[in-house]
Amino acid sequence: MVSALLSDIGGLAKGLKTTFQHLFRPPVTFQYPEVKRPMFPRFRGRHVLRRYENGLERCIGCELCAGVCPAQAIYVEAAENTDEERYSPGERYAK
């Protein structure tokens, strides 16, 4: 009975120790959008489909970006440009 009581008190002491260790650490959350996270120097921004000045897409549907993406997060479905509907300067475009 005494050993069980000491074991419980030891567990409580460990829990309080952990609580007090984390109590005095700085917070890890940011109050976004008031406080912004620091940007890394090599950060390039969001992925967007870029266009030429005349409005045509720069993507020609070659699927090279999908081939080199290490996370396999890019999927390109290519289609053929026609004379009636032209989306990019090449023969193909990303659908």
3-state SS, one letter per residue, for 5-52: HHHHHHHHHHHHHHHHHHHCCCCCCCCCCCCCCCCCCCCCCCCCCCEC
**Which CATH number is 62's domain given?**
3.30.70.3270
Across residues 50-68, what is the average pLDDT?
88
- Owning domain of residue 48: 2-94
Give the residue from 91, 90, 66 showing the smallest Cα distance to 77.
Answer: 66
Answer yes or no: pTM beyond 0.95.
no
Q: Among 45-49, 63-67, 85-89, where is mean pLDDT lowest? A: 45-49
* Cβ-contact 60, 52 below 8 angstroms: no
| Separation CA 56–CA 20 (nearest Å) | 59
Number of domains in the chain: 1
Distance, CA of 56 to CA of 6 (rounded, Å): 75
